[in-house]
Structure 1
Amino acid sequence: MRVYIPSTLRLLDVACHTGEFGPPPLTAYAVTPALREWYAEGDDEELEYAAMAQAARASVGLLAADPGTPRRRVVVACEVSAIPPADGTVELGDARLELQVVVPWTTVAAAHVDSAEAAAVVGQAADLWGAAQNGDDDAVFALDSCEGEDLLWYATQEIPDLLAAEGPNGRQA
């Protein structure tokens, strides 16, 4: 199953060098039954995009928690064995699930990362994350503005070069 793990450049660097994402539980996003039911008319590609968009939003929360990391959303696409929740405990349209395992780097299919030019928009959203979670309209608008920024696609073999260009601790070299 394709899952999308929200991340940051700093966390991506750690996973690349340790060979895994962890420790569990890990929050990930995928085409869950709740997402499929919400987007009943969506094809598989649209559902995958919706799951990735939810992971990208969660990446902003990770950025908010780590002010020292570059303000670029990161979503890592992995192929793992996961069973989406089916017990009715998730909201309709929710793609979130918890992985109770370490995710090996060998399962990474690609990384989706904001361009450096998106840092201002993403940074503002990260700065206002807490207010957005509390329903502040201006903060929610800032968070929604991130969705206008396209994530760039990096093949697995390109990720080390991306990280090297960012330098130590995810700073552009």
Structure 2
Amino acid sequence: MYVFLPSTVPALAALLDEGRLEGTPLTAFTADAGPDGDSEEAEYAAMYAAAEASLRMLAADPAAPRRRVVLAAEMPDRAIEHEARHGADVARVLLQGAVPYKRLKSVHVDDPDVAEDIAEAAADPDSDAAEDHELMWFAVQEARHLVDEATE
């Protein structure tokens, strides 16, 4: 199952150093459009549900660079426990066990130029400062460069 995990730059760095994302259970989001739904639109909604959760992670870590990070991973169904609906086309799920690096499919990150808006959104949950900012797509192989760039 394709899942979207909220993250931060320091958590991404730890994943790269350790070869896996630890934490039991890990919260993720997945598209749940149903048989008549638009799966591409549902995946977009799941990714942005994870981006919203990333803002909460940023609020809890004031030292983290102000960039939302979302990790897309392909996980076996046996590792996923459905937790709740999160909107019409999105389900919040729990991942049992670690997410190995080899399961990552892409990394989605805010442009560094929007850091001020992301900081505002992380500080104020009612803010819509991050709403108009699209996450950029990166191949997993580019993750180390993203971490190095964000921590310079």
**TM-score after normalising by structure 1:** 0.79
Equivalent residues in 2 for 1:16-165 (5 A)? 16-32=16-32, 36=33, 42-82=37-77, 83=80, 85=82, 90=85, 93=88, 94-129=90-125, 140=126, 142=127, 144-165=128-149
Partner Cα separation in structure 2 for residue 91 and residue 7 of structure 1: 18
Partner Cα separation in structure 2 for residue 49 and residue 114 of structure 1: 15
Partner Cα separation in structure 1 for residue 137 and residue 59 of structure 2: 23
Supply the AA of the counterpart residue of 1:7. Answer: S
Which has the larger share of helix?
A: 1
Partner Cα separation in structure 1 for residue 8 and residue 82 of structure 2: 25
Partner Cα separation in structure 2 for residue 10 and residue 92 of structure 1: 28
Q: Structure 1's 95 and 71: CA in aligned 2 closer, same or farther, altered over 3 A?
A: same
Give ranges in structure 2 of 5+ residues lacking alignment.
Answer: none
Give ranges in structure 1 of 5+ residues lacking alignment.
Answer: 130-139
State the shift of 1:42 in Å.
3.7
When Rg is computed on C-alpha atoms for both structures, the one with the higher figure is: 1
Alignment-derived partner of residue 135 in structure 1: none
Supply the AA of the counterpart residue of 1:116. Answer: P
Partner Cα separation in structure 1 for residue 7 and residue 118 of structure 2: 13
Which SS does the other structure have where 2:82 is aligned?
coil
Q: Given that residues 54 and 95 in structure 1 are in contact (C-alpha distance below 8 angstroms), is that contact kept between their aligned partners in structure 2?
A: no
Which has the larger share of strand?
A: 2
For these two proteins, the number of residue pairs brought into alignment is 149
CA RMSD of aligned residues (A): 1.9
Supply the AA of the counterpart residue of 2:44. Answer: Y
Alignment-derived partner of residue 136 in structure 1: none
State the shift of 1:161 in Å.
1.4
State the shift of 1:147 in Å.
2.3
Q: Structure 1's 92 and 151: CA in aligned 2 closer, same or farther, altered over 3 A?
A: closer
State the shift of 1:23 in Å.
1.8
Partner Cα separation in structure 1 for residue 141 and residue 94 of structure 2: 27
State the shift of 1:92 in Å.
5.1
Partner Cα separation in structure 2 for residue 154 and residue 91 of structure 1: 25
Partner Cα separation in structure 2 for residue 56 and residue 99 of structure 1: 17
